[in-house]
Amino acid sequence: MSLIELKQVTYQYPLDTEPVIKDVSLQIEAGKVYGLIGSNQAGKSTLCNIIRGFIPALFFGELTGSVTYQGKPVSDYNIGALAAEIGYSSQNPFTQISGVKDSVAEEIAYGMENIGVAPAVMQKKVTELLQLFHLEALQTKNPYELSGGQKQRVALASIVALDPQVVILDEPTSQLDPQSTEEVFQIIQLLKSQGKTIIVVEHKVDLLAEYCDEIILLADGQVVQKGPVQQIFSDPTILTYGGALPQMALFFLNQLHQTNQIPITLEEAIQQLKGGITR
């Protein structure tokens, strides 16, 4: 059984005249990292909100087809209980700060407080997370005084604090510099090593190539490609759907005119040049 399963899902926002998600069927397996890509307005954020049950529960509109989490319809879950299982960071870090806490440390603890985590446990967790997310120096700052990138790190820490099974990150690095972007992906890898399932909406295909197991490409509300990262990112077909190829794949395809076993990361290219066969 897949952890998350969508069957023939079609969704139309209220007042809209046509669906934005069209007949999407999708299986998400536990413990994998999924890169969700596609051009602007393709429906990526909408799909994230369908998976976590906010659509249609809070956005209303018309949804047909079925969406299940652990085999049970998402609509059968209490939305709060589901939110504890499926952590979500929105594409806008400014909407993610609770607004009720005066410091970064308290902000990270806020979600745990709400679910009644014991103070001693909470304190230990906050200390760990401040360190993991490089927020120690900012722990007494007001969350509103942070830069976009710092807010994003606090938002991520607040999600990880609740120990969800699934983490959905909607463009988590759009406000971040390259260094912080790399750090977000290292956190994704850490979460994966803890057995979490991760869906990350992201445009930076070179990083997706390095960290994802599978790629899902949405175009105009439909899943046009889905498969192992190596397969999707070594095939120029993706370009016809508005997707992009990693630099390494482009180099091997366009400059070296290689036709098969296209490496998608530096590491794979090195392996291949050494004469080894990758993946």
Ligand X SMILES: Nc1ncnc2c1ncn2[C@@H]1O[C@H](COP(=O)(O)OP(=O)(O)O)[C@@H](O)[C@H]1O
Kindly list the residues in this chain that would bind ligand X in the complex (CB under 6 A).
13, 16, 20, 38, 40-46, 59
Out of ligand X, Mg ion, none, which partner does residue 173 contact, by CB within 5 to 8 A per kind?
none
Q: Shortest gap between Cβ of 40 and Mg ion (angstroms)?
A: 7
| Torsion, CA 216, CA 238, CA 193, CA 77, rounded to 10 | -10
Tokens representing 124 are 């230990």
**x/- string (CB under 5 A) for Mg ion, residues 71-110?**
--------------------x-------------------
Contacts of 270 (CB under 8 A, 6+ apart): none
In the complex with ligand X, the residue whose CB is nearer, 38 or 164, is 38
For helices 178-193 and 148-161, what crossing angle results, to 10°? 10
- ω into residue 56 within 30 of 0, thus cis? yes
In the complex with Mg ion, the residue whose CB is nearer, 45 or 150, is 45
Provide the pairing of β-strand 214-219 with 222-228. Answer: antiparallel
Among 45, 49, 90, 197, binds Mg ion (CB under 5 A): 45
Helix-, strand-, coil-residue percentages of the chain, each rounded to 5: 45, 20, 35
Is residue 49 a contact point for Mg ion (CB under 5 A)?
Answer: no
> In angstroms, what is the C-alpha Rg of the chain?
20
Out of ligand X, Mg ion, none, which partner does residue 13 contact, by CB within 5 to 8 A per kind?
ligand X
Out of Mg ion, ligand X, none, which partner does residue 43 contact, by CB within 5 to 8 A per kind?
ligand X
In the complex with Mg ion, the residue whose CB is nearer, 45 or 180, is 45
Positions in the binding site for Mg ion (CB under 5 A): 44-45, 91
